Amino acid sequence: MSNFDNAANVGFDLQIKYFRERMKELKIPQYKLAEMVGISELTLIRNFKKETEMAHTTFLKICGALQINPYLVPKEIDKTEFLKMYFN
């Protein structure tokens, strides 16, 4: 597995962690989030467990539903947990 694959896995795990934390904060159950973004709950479960790859549009819809900004932050100014992603 390349460094990019590892970084992608770490990053995805962090995103799912943030999604779950935000769902708790907003009191949005999994079935409701799936309904809000227009996918089945089973698809959402499979996406969260990495059994199926999440579509980029689904990711953006989840960000919208959970009121999370999906913008990219340059590595040199990023002070978040995403620094755990090792691309080099």
Q: Is the pLDDT of residue 82 over 90?
A: no
Residue 83 counted as domain residue: no
pTM higher than the cut 0.85: no
pLDDT confidence of residue 70: 80
pLDDT of 64: 93
User: Cα torsion at 2, 4, 7, 9 (round to 10°)?
Assistant: -80
Residue 12 lies in a domain: yes
78: in domain: no
Q: Which structural domain, as residue segments, surrounds residue 46?
A: 3-71
In a domain, 67, yes or no: yes
Query: What is the count of structural domains for the chain?
Result: 1
Helices marked H in the chain:
3-26, 30-37, 41-48, 56-65
Q: Would you tell me how many other CB atoms lie within 10 Å of the CB of residue 70?
A: 12
